[in-house]
Amino acid sequence: MLEESTKCAKAIMQAGKEYICLMRLHDDVSDEKLLEAVKLFTGQIYQIPPVRSSVVRKPRVRTIYSAEIIERSGRDVLMKIACSGGTYIRKYCHDLGLYLGCGAHMQELRRTRAGPYEEGFSFSLLDVYEAVKLYKENGEERMLRDVVQPVETAVKLLPKVYILDSAVDAICHGANLTVAGISKLDDEIKRGDEVAIMTLKGELVALGRAQMSTEEILNILKGIAVDIERVIMDRGTYPSVWKRGSKDFNGSI
């Protein structure tokens, strides 16, 4: 994340992840028993972070969206795991081994997706170097634009609220978003959801916390719909047509 887009880092970190993991069993286990254990360890699970971790070691709930055995060779098991942010795969392997009664550990790990970013869209450090070099020497932006993605890609998985042009600068100045400033929004937004505030052109303005559901927003004329938490767009990008000193933008001009 670069410059103002670093404000989206939390949204990326909390988004789902996908890994390719090589787990090594400490004893022989049948395919049937292994498949049963993997199925059991899918969905919501309890995890205590490992000793070597950067968080407090206390039980917490994490979600394993899917766990697939790709290949097995004796005690080595290659798996593809999709999970919620904050899941420790090495602890997943350890706990799986405890359940099987044979013990297990994570031998190798490769992350293939983080939020909306998949491995296929990644670049090597050499690619980054070459892109910057081309831009500095020749003003050539093409490769640099491939390497550095627009900030809007960071919120691809978040529900979105699209606002009127007249509301944009008010939001950039920290005003909360009221119902009157909304043009359209995604279905099934729930109270408390993190949402991306977008212009009608699809530009990211800010991140906020929904104070109303989609249904409530569609059936009410006033009230704060989104509490703004992080402003991404620079002030003055859109013309200012709001009354200064107002904490919340009400959609009027």
| Domains, in order of start, for the chain | 17-115 (3.30.70.3190), 120-149 (no CATH), 153-249 (2.30.130.10)
Q: What is the pLDDT of residue 241?
A: 73
pLDDT mean values, one per 10 residues, the chain (253 residues): 89 88 96 95 91 78 95 96 92 95 96 91 92 93 91 92 95 93 92 95 96 92 93 91 55 43
What's residue 106's pLDDT? 96
Q: What is the pLDDT of residue 252?
A: 43
Tell me what pLDDT residue 253 has.
37
- What is the edge-to-edge ordering of all strands in the sheet holding 60-73? 43-47, 60-73, 76-83, 17-25, 104-114, 117-118
Q: Which residues contact 152 (CB under 8 A, 6 or more apart)?
A: 198, 202, 203, 204
pTM beyond cutoff 0.75: yes
| Tokens 């000193």 belong to residue | 245
Hey, is 156 helix, strand or coil?
Answer: coil
